[in-house]
Amino acid sequence: MKVIDKSSFLDTFQYFDKEIVVEIIDIFLQEYPGRLVNIKKDIESGDFDALKFDAHSLKGVVSNFVAKAPQDYAKELEMKGTIKDSTDLLDTFQKLEISIYDLVDDLNELRSAFVI
């Protein structure tokens, strides 16, 4: 499933050197597994402050790619961390995880268009 608004993505990065776009994508591809692990650990340990921080951080990174679904799920987890609401945390995390995997697919596809 496509999660990136390709037109908005291309508008966002139109003035960037292609190498920079590829580097931004590559950094995300290297870091996202650890970010997901941290968020899941935060949920499992009930560490709402860490959940708020880690979800906020992921939300910010994902927003660079104009990917609404993973951004919204990360925001939902951030808000739950803020108000210490444990309702449906694992369900929301699973939705985030699926949408991040869709984002990765989209990024790999877009990355190939920027490789020189």
Q: Is the pLDDT of residue 97 over 90?
A: yes
Domains of the chain (ranges plus CATH)? 17-111 (1.20.120)
103 in Cβ contact with 62 (< 8 Å): yes
Q: Say if CB 57 and CB 25 are below 8 A apart.
A: no
pLDDT band (50, 70, 90) for residue 113: confident
**Residue among 5, 2, 4, 20 at smallest CA distance from 114:** 20
**This model's pTM is above 0.85:** yes
- Rounded CA-CA distance 55/82 in Å is 10
